[in-house]
Amino acid sequence: MAAVNNPALAAFCSLPAPELVLAQVLLRRVATGFELRHVTDREAAQECLQNTALVELRALANHTAAGAFRPIKAAPNLRNGWRCSVASEAELESALNQLYPGAIADSFAAQQAAPPVTHYRAFTARQTGMYRITTMLTDLQAAQVIRACCDARFCLKRRLWTVDGLAPDSAKAKSSIPCLEPCAVMLEFARKAVRMEQEKGKPEVALAPVETALTHPPADPREADFSAPDNPRLLQLLQLQRLAPAAAAPVVQE
C-alpha cells in the first residue's frame, strides 16, 4: 500500500481492527488493499454484488435506490448491492470522500484538543440575507428544529455542535462521522421553521395524520423540499412541537 502524507488518513488507517463500519459502509482490509460495501451486504457473496469502480462511487452516493437525490450524503439511505475494491490508502481516502465527503478530515479534527466546532448561535450570527432570520429561534425552538432535522432517521452524522439546552449526539446513536457545524439543509430547515412561526401556523398538515405519516413516510421523499407538507423533517418537527410547545417565547416579527 502506498504511504500517504495525510495525518487524518494515517490515523484512520492505523485502526487495528480488520474491518470497520463507517455509517453505512463496511470497510475491510483485504490482501489487495481495502474493500468497501454496504453494511447490510456484510454476508453477501462477492459475485452477488455489483463491482463498482472508484470513479463510480460519487454517482452511487448521489441518489437513492429509487433515484431521489441525496442532499445529505450521511443520510441512512445509501443504496446497497455494490462493492468497491481499492488498492491503496490514497484510493481509500478518495473512495470515502465520495461516499462521505470530508469524513476522514472531520474525524481527525474532532479528535484534537480543541475541535473546530461551530455552534448554532455562532453559525447563525454570521448569516446574511435570507438566512439572517435563523437567529430568531429561541433556544427551545432551535433545539426542536435541530432534533427534527438531525434525527438519526435522516442523518447519521454525529452532531457535535449544540444550542443551549440540547446535548450533542452520541456516536452510539449515529456514527463516528462528526458534524462540526450546521449544514445547508439544516440552515434552510431553520429558516423554514422561523417562517412557520411568523405565519403563526403550521404547514397544511392536520396533526392527526402526523403519526401516520411518520410511521408510513413517503416512499422516497425529497428530503430538502420543505415546501412539501409531508416532508419527513417537517412532520418530525410538528410532532416535537406538539409534545413540547415552544410558543412561550415566540419568534419576533421582522
The site that binds ligand SF4 (CB under 6 A) totals a number of residues, namely: 12
Least distance to ligand SF4 from the beta carbon of 157, Å?
Answer: 4
Helix/strand/coil percent split, the chain, to 5 = 40, 10, 50
Q: Which residue's CB is nearer to ligand SF4, number 9 or number 190?
A: 190
Grid cell in block for residue 162: 449544540
Grid cell in block for residue 73: 450524503
Grid cell in block for residue 143: 433545539
Q: Which helix (H) or strand (E) holds 149?
A: helix 139-149
Q: Which residue's CB is nearer to ligand SF4, number 34 or number 161?
A: 161
Q: For residue 26, which amino acid is it?
A: L
Least distance to ligand SF4 from the beta carbon of 181, Å?
Answer: 7
Task: Give the integer Cα–Cα distance in Å for 94 and 53.
Answer: 11
Q: Which residue's CB is nearer to ligand SF4, number 25 or number 185?
A: 185
Least distance to ligand SF4 from the beta carbon of 187, Å?
Answer: 8
Q: Which of residues 57-76 bind ligand SF4 (CB under 6 A)?
A: 72, 74
Helices (H), 26-99: 57-62, 89-99
* Cα-to-chain-centroid distance, residue 231: 16
Select from 78-86, 119-127, 151-159, 236-244 the region that touches ligand SF4 (CB under 6 A).
151-159
* Torsion sign (Cα): 124, 126, 131, 132: positive
Least distance to ligand SF4 from the beta carbon of 194, Å?
Answer: 16
Phi first, then psi: give them for residue 40, nearest 5 degrees. -75, -10
Residue tagged 455562532 (cell numbers): 122
Least distance to ligand SF4 from the beta carbon of 236, Å?
Answer: 12
Under 8 Å between Cβ of 210 and 235: yes
Select from 28-36, 60-68, 182-190, 223-231 the region that touches ligand SF4 (CB under 6 A).
182-190
**Contacting residue, 96, 155, 190, 210, with ligand SF4 by CB under 6 A:** 155
Q: Does 183 bind ligand SF4 (CB under 6 A)?
A: yes
Q: Which residue's CB is nearer to ligand SF4, number 86 or number 150?
A: 150
Neighbours of 111 (CB within 10 A): 11
Task: Give the integer Cα–Cα distance in Å for 130 and 140.
Answer: 22
Q: Which residue's CB is nearer to ligand SF4, number 81 or number 221?
A: 221
Q: Which residue's CB is nearer to ligand SF4, number 83 or number 233?
A: 233
Each residue 9-48 as x (binds ligand SF4 by CB under 6 A) or -, in order, gives ----------------------------------------
**Contacting residue, 86, 185, 210, 237, with ligand SF4 by CB under 6 A:** 185
Listed in sequence order, the residues at least 6 apart from 242 whose beta carbon sits closer than 8 Å to its beta carbon are 207, 210
Site residues (vs ligand SF4, CB under 6 A): 72, 74, 149-150, 155, 157, 159, 179, 182-183, 185-186
